[in-house]
Amino acid sequence: MSLKYLHTMVRVKDLEKSIAFYELLGLKETRRMDSEGGRFTLAFMAPPGQEECPVELTYNWDGDEGLPSDSRHFGHLAYRVGNIYEVCRHLMDNGVTINRPPRDGHMAFVRSPDNISIELLQEGDNLAPAEPWASMENTGHW
Protein backbone atom coordinates (compact mmCIF):
# COMPACT_ATOMS: atom_id res chain seq x y z
CA MET A 1 0.00 0.00 0.00
CA SER A 2 1.69 3.25 -1.12
CA LEU A 3 1.22 6.41 0.91
CA LYS A 4 2.77 9.88 0.59
CA TYR A 5 2.29 12.80 2.98
CA LEU A 6 0.87 15.81 1.14
CA HIS A 7 -0.01 18.65 3.50
CA THR A 8 -1.73 19.85 6.66
CA MET A 9 -4.65 22.26 6.22
CA VAL A 10 -5.59 25.06 8.61
CA ARG A 11 -8.41 27.58 8.22
CA VAL A 12 -7.47 31.23 8.54
CA LYS A 13 -9.56 34.33 9.14
CA ASP A 14 -7.19 36.88 7.55
CA LEU A 15 -5.12 35.36 4.73
CA GLU A 16 -2.55 38.15 4.39
CA LYS A 17 -1.98 38.39 8.14
CA SER A 18 -1.56 34.59 8.31
CA ILE A 19 0.85 34.55 5.37
CA ALA A 20 2.91 37.28 7.08
CA PHE A 21 3.05 35.20 10.28
CA TYR A 22 4.21 32.04 8.49
CA GLU A 23 6.77 34.11 6.58
CA LEU A 24 8.14 35.26 9.94
CA LEU A 25 8.67 31.58 10.74
CA GLY A 26 10.65 31.25 7.51
CA LEU A 27 8.00 29.63 5.29
CA LYS A 28 7.50 30.83 1.73
CA GLU A 29 4.36 30.71 -0.38
CA THR A 30 4.90 27.93 -2.93
CA ARG A 31 1.55 28.03 -4.73
CA ARG A 32 -1.93 29.51 -4.57
CA MET A 33 -5.31 28.47 -5.86
CA ASP A 34 -8.42 30.67 -5.99
CA SER A 35 -11.79 28.98 -6.42
CA GLU A 36 -14.52 31.31 -7.72
CA GLY A 37 -17.14 28.56 -7.42
CA GLY A 38 -16.12 27.49 -3.95
CA ARG A 39 -15.37 31.05 -2.87
CA PHE A 40 -12.08 30.22 -1.19
CA THR A 41 -8.33 30.65 -1.59
CA LEU A 42 -5.72 28.04 -0.78
CA ALA A 43 -2.20 29.31 -0.10
CA PHE A 44 0.50 26.67 0.35
CA MET A 45 3.51 27.64 2.45
CA ALA A 46 6.61 25.58 3.14
CA PRO A 47 10.13 25.99 4.45
CA PRO A 48 12.72 26.56 1.71
CA GLY A 49 13.97 23.22 0.44
CA GLN A 50 10.96 21.41 1.93
CA GLU A 51 8.31 22.38 -0.59
CA GLU A 52 6.90 18.84 -0.41
CA CYS A 53 5.77 19.49 3.21
CA PRO A 54 3.48 22.53 3.03
CA VAL A 55 0.89 23.99 5.31
CA GLU A 56 -2.30 24.74 3.34
CA LEU A 57 -3.90 28.00 4.51
CA THR A 58 -7.60 27.90 3.62
CA TYR A 59 -9.33 31.28 3.47
CA ASN A 60 -13.12 31.41 2.93
CA TRP A 61 -14.00 34.59 1.05
CA ASP A 62 -17.36 34.96 2.76
CA GLY A 63 -15.77 34.77 6.20
CA ASP A 64 -15.71 32.12 8.87
CA GLU A 65 -17.10 33.94 11.88
CA GLY A 66 -16.48 30.99 14.21
CA LEU A 67 -12.75 31.52 13.92
CA PRO A 68 -10.75 31.59 16.07
CA SER A 69 -12.93 30.16 18.83
CA ASP A 70 -14.71 27.16 17.28
CA SER A 71 -11.79 24.73 16.88
CA ARG A 72 -12.13 24.85 13.08
CA HIS A 73 -8.57 26.06 12.55
CA PHE A 74 -7.16 22.63 11.96
CA GLY A 75 -8.68 21.08 8.87
CA HIS A 76 -7.09 17.78 7.87
CA LEU A 77 -4.01 15.77 7.05
CA ALA A 78 -3.73 14.78 3.38
CA TYR A 79 -2.09 11.70 1.86
CA ARG A 80 -1.71 10.56 -1.73
CA VAL A 81 -2.44 6.85 -2.17
CA GLY A 82 -1.66 4.37 -4.95
CA ASN A 83 -5.20 2.95 -5.15
CA ILE A 84 -7.89 4.80 -3.23
CA TYR A 85 -10.37 1.91 -3.50
CA GLU A 86 -7.92 -0.59 -2.02
CA VAL A 87 -6.98 1.77 0.81
CA CYS A 88 -10.63 2.49 1.65
CA ARG A 89 -11.47 -1.23 1.53
CA HIS A 90 -8.53 -1.99 3.84
CA LEU A 91 -9.66 0.71 6.26
CA MET A 92 -13.29 -0.45 6.21
CA ASP A 93 -12.24 -4.07 6.75
CA ASN A 94 -10.47 -2.86 9.87
CA GLY A 95 -13.45 -0.98 11.29
CA VAL A 96 -12.78 2.54 9.97
CA THR A 97 -15.80 4.55 8.80
CA ILE A 98 -15.40 6.11 5.37
CA ASN A 99 -16.95 9.52 6.03
CA ARG A 100 -16.70 10.74 2.45
CA PRO A 101 -16.42 7.75 0.07
CA PRO A 102 -14.28 8.00 -3.09
CA ARG A 103 -17.30 8.18 -5.42
CA ASP A 104 -15.23 10.12 -7.95
CA GLY A 105 -12.31 7.68 -7.80
CA HIS A 106 -10.19 10.55 -6.51
CA MET A 107 -10.94 11.72 -2.97
CA ALA A 108 -12.10 10.22 0.32
CA PHE A 109 -12.15 11.36 3.95
CA VAL A 110 -11.88 9.31 7.13
CA ARG A 111 -11.34 10.26 10.78
CA SER A 112 -8.72 9.05 13.20
CA PRO A 113 -9.71 7.63 16.60
CA ASP A 114 -9.01 11.14 17.94
CA ASN A 115 -11.44 12.64 15.41
CA ILE A 116 -8.72 14.10 13.17
CA SER A 117 -9.88 14.42 9.57
CA ILE A 118 -7.71 12.58 7.02
CA GLU A 119 -8.01 13.29 3.28
CA LEU A 120 -6.99 10.51 0.88
CA LEU A 121 -6.24 11.51 -2.72
CA GLN A 122 -5.73 9.13 -5.63
CA GLU A 123 -2.30 9.33 -7.22
CA GLY A 124 -2.46 10.16 -10.93
CA ASP A 125 -5.74 10.02 -12.81
CA ASN A 126 -9.02 9.33 -11.07
CA LEU A 127 -10.01 5.68 -10.96
CA ALA A 128 -13.16 4.73 -12.87
CA PRO A 129 -16.29 4.87 -10.68
CA ALA A 130 -16.86 1.53 -8.96
CA GLU A 131 -19.18 0.03 -6.39
CA PRO A 132 -19.68 0.10 -3.51
CA TRP A 133 -18.09 3.54 -3.59
CA ALA A 134 -20.07 5.14 -6.44
CA SER A 135 -23.40 4.88 -4.60
CA MET A 136 -22.16 5.08 -0.99
CA GLU A 137 -23.54 7.99 1.02
CA ASN A 138 -21.49 10.27 3.27
CA THR A 139 -21.37 9.31 6.94
CA GLY A 140 -21.01 12.02 9.55
CA HIS A 141 -18.69 14.88 8.65
CA TRP A 142 -15.07 15.26 7.78
Question: Which domains are delineated in the chain?
Answer: 8-60 (3.10.180.10), 77-135 (3.30.720)
Where are the alpha helices (H) located in 25-112, listed in sequence order? 84-93
Partners of 55 in the β-ladder: 8, 45
- Rounded Cα gap, residues 105 and 136, in angstroms: 12
pLDDT at 59 over 90: yes
Q: What is the pLDDT of residues 79-103, one digit of tens each?
A: 899 999 999 999 999 999 999 999 9
Q: Reply yes or no on whether the pLDDT at 47 is more than 60.
A: yes
Catalytic positions are: 119
